[in-house]
Amino acid sequence: MSESLPDGVERRAFDGETRLATRGEPVYGEPTDGEWRAWDPERSKLGGMLELEMNTGLTGGETVLYLGAAAGTTVSHVADFAGPTYAVEFAPRPARDLLDAVEPRDRLFPLLKDARKPETYAHVVESDVDVVVQDVATRGQADVAVRNARFLADDGRLLLAVKARSEDVTADPDDVFDDVLDRLRDVYEIRETRRLDRYHEDHLGVVATPR
Ligand code: SAM
């Protein structure tokens, strides 16, 4: 099944269990085997999207803008196989921990910025990035994706995880997802959607391309 995985991501056995893995320094206590580290889909929406074999289009080596980096669980795996990876996180506490993941990775660049204000990092992030990964889990997730579309190359991709409860705790998640997808369609073509519930309750994985 490795054909759908980017170069630098493999399925490998850890303690007899086959898991996704990348090569790099461990970050969150994940199992390791030599230079390989297991990528836990229960702690990573993008890991879940790959486990569910969504067509992310990731091939390895691409330039990535990652929105909602937190302490670096997922973005560290991304930087293990991608090219330059810009990690945006606005909360100082997780951003401090993110620096530990950055330290051994020379292609990972942390930005203590608000993803709702892309103009504050437009001078740092190169234009025409290949992939925007977004996992901000706050109200207005579609708006964040729309505002950051400016960075994407014409043939680039948005890999988005939408958390229904961050938009409205009481609404039916399917209604929330419909609203988010409608807003995304202003600037994106939706290529694939998949509920991530096996790993992340009431989350939707979205693959989209710029219109
Ligand atoms: N993506 C991370 C991972 O898999 O390792 C987990 C991200 S966590 C669910 C959501 C993160 O988004 C939080 O750390 C939060 O501070 C951050 N966030 C929320 N709104 C943001 C914004 N407007 N700009 C930057 N970061 C934001």
**Within 6 Å (CB) of ligand 1, which residues are found?**
44, 68, 70, 73-74, 88-91, 94, 114-116, 135-138
Side chain identity at 173, as an amino acid letter?
P
Q: Give the span between the Cα atoms of 5 and 56, in whole angstroms.
A: 9
Residue 23 inside a domain? The answer is: no
The token pair that represents 195 in the structure block: 């509920």
Q: What mean pLDDT do residues 122-130 have? A: 95
Closest CA to 124 of 109, 138, 135: 109
The atom number, within ligand 1, closest to the CA of 44 reads 4
- Average per-residue pLDDT in the chain? 97
The token pair that represents 24 in the structure block: 């790099």
What's residue 126's pLDDT? 86
Q: What mean pLDDT do residues 109-128 have? A: 96
127 pLDDT band, cuts 50/70/90, is confident
Query: Which residues constitute the domain of residue 194?
Result: 40-210
Q: What mean pLDDT do residues 51-76 have? A: 98
The atom number, within ligand 1, closest to the CA of 47 reads 4
Residue 22 inside a domain? The answer is: no
Q: What mean pLDDT do residues 90-104 have? A: 98
Residue 58 inside a domain? The answer is: yes
Q: HEC states along 13-45?
A: EECCEEEEEEECCCCCCCCEECCEEECCCCCCH
The atom number, within ligand 1, closest to the CA of 116 reads 23
Inform me whether the pLDDT recorded for 3 exceeds 60. Answer: no
C-alpha 154 – ligand 1 centre gap (Å): 25
Name the domain count of the chain. 1
β-sheet with 17-23: strand ranges across = 9-14, 17-23, 36-38, 32-33
Helix (H) or strand (E) holding 49: helix 45-51
DSSP 171: S
138, 148, 162, best to mutate for ligand 1 pocket (most atoms within 8 Å of CB): 138
Residue 5 inside a domain? The answer is: no
Nearest C-alpha to atom 13 of ligand 1 is from which residue? Answer: 70
Here the CATH number for the domain that contains residue 103 is 3.40.50.150
Inform me whether the pLDDT recorded for 50 exceeds 90. Answer: yes
Work out the percent of the chain whose per-residue pLDDT is above 90: 97
Residue 142 inside a domain? The answer is: yes
Q: How many residues does the chain have?
A: 211
Residue 8 inside a domain? The answer is: no
Residue 147 inside a domain? The answer is: yes
Nearest C-alpha to atom 19 of ligand 1 is from which residue? Answer: 136
The token pair that represents 93 in the structure block: 């506490």
Work out the percent of the chain whose per-residue pLDDT is above 70: 99
